């Protein structure tokens, strides 16, 4: 465990680094599988039920130690710990492994043949064994043990397949969610790009309209200034015409006044002459 955690990639080549990393992952995976097997065997020993499925097939390490963990071998566990404070976590994990392994109960036998008498199998007789109809009793028991071992392996393989199937289903769900997220992200990016393009076109349209409006407004202002100058010139001309008309009217009035004075004087002259003649005649 300590060597797996403190493994360093000292090689300079990329291939050696990848190989070292893969070895470290395999060691950690084997140690995790060993921990699950020890925990399952401990729970089985506590409950007293032998039908529980132990995941021996999850790693090669547990397959090799199958007979030593809950099997037919005598097993000695040596826990190596360090008094240094630097290795405190490793020491605690090692002691935890050893404590869990203490609850495992093995069933060691002296030979490879177990003295079991299965109740469901017919027990052969010596006459049948001599006649060749049935194998000898030791081979018969060995076949029964092998059958049980094969059944256990089949159960373990089924459990491993079930776990792998669940893992595959989880991976498929994660892949589907990832695909949905990517599609949603793509749709969002496309929508954002379209919105940006629409905003850009709108800004360009607004700029063109503002430019046209400013140009048209300038033209209108220039035209209005020209019209104002024309109006002012026409107004000045009209004022001069009015002044000339006023002068002409004043001149005409003066002439008419003079004419009336002349007319009055001309009308008074004969009367004065007549009156003077009459006055002379009276004398």
Alpha carbon distance 219, 225 (integer Å): 10
Burial class, 183, CB count within 10 angstroms (exposed 0-12 / middle 13-18 / buried 19+)? exposed
pLDDT beyond 70 at 136: no
User: Cα(123)–Cα(130) distance, rounded to whole angstroms?
Assistant: 14
Distance of CA 113 to the CA centre of its chain: 62
Q: Helix H segments across the chain?
A: 2-5, 14-47, 60-64, 88-102, 126-131, 137-282
Return d(Cα 214, Cα 16) in angstroms, integer: 72
Tell me which residue of 94, 34, 96, 18 sits closest to 7, measured CA to CA.
18
| pLDDT of 56 above 80 | yes
- Looking at residue 127, its pLDDT comes to 47
pLDDT digits (tens, 9 = 90+) for 23-44: 888 888 888 888 888 888 888 8
What's the whole-number average pLDDT of the chain?
78
Q: How far apart are CA 124 and CA 137, in angstroms?
A: 7
pLDDT tier, 271 (very low <50, low <70, confident <90, very high otherwise): low
- CA dist list (Å): 109 to 105, 115, 148, 230: 13, 9, 16, 129
Give the C-alpha separation, 153 to 151, whole Å. Answer: 5
Task: Report the sign of the C-alpha dihedral through residues 92, 93, 97, 100, in that order.
Answer: positive
* 204-256 tens-digit pLDDT: 888 888 888 888 888 888 888 888 888 888 888 888 888 888 888 888 888 88
pLDDT at 20: 85
């Amino acid at each position: 465990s300590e060597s797996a955690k403190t493994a360093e990639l000292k090689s300079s080549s990329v291939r050696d680094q990848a190989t070292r990393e893969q070895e470290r992952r395999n060691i950690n995976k084997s140690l995790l599988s060993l921990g699950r097997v020890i925990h399952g065997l401990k729970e089985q020993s506590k409950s007293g039920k032998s039908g529980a499925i132990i995941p021996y097939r999850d790693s090669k390490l547990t397959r090799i130690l199958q007979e030593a963990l809950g099997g037919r071998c005598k097993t000695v566990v040596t826990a190596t710990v360090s008094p240094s404070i630097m290795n405190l976590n490793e020491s605690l994990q090692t002691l935890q492994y050893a404590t869990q392994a203490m609850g495992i109960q093995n069933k060691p036998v002296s030979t490879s043949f177990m003295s079991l008498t299965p109740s469901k199998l017919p027990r052969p007789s010596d006459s049948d064994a001599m006649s060749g109809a049935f194998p000898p009793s030791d081979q018969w028991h060995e076949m029964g043990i092998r059958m049980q071992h094969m059944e256990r392996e089949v159960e373990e393989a089924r459990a491993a397949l079930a776990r792998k199937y669940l893992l595959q289903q989880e991976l498929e769900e994660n892949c589907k969610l990832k695909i949905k997220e990517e599609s949603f992200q793509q749709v969002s990016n496309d929508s954002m790009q379209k919105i940006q393009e629409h905003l850009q076109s709108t800004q360009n349209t607004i700029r063109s309209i503002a430019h046209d409006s400013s140009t048209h407004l300038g033209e209108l202002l220039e035209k209005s200034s020209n019209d104002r100058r024309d109006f002012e010139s026409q107004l000045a001309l009209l004022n001069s015409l009015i002044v000339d008309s006023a002068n002409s009217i004043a001149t005409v009035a003066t002439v008419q006044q003079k004419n009336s004075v002349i007319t009055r004087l001309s009308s008074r002259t004969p009367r004065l002459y007549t009156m003077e003649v009459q006055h002379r005649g009276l004398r």
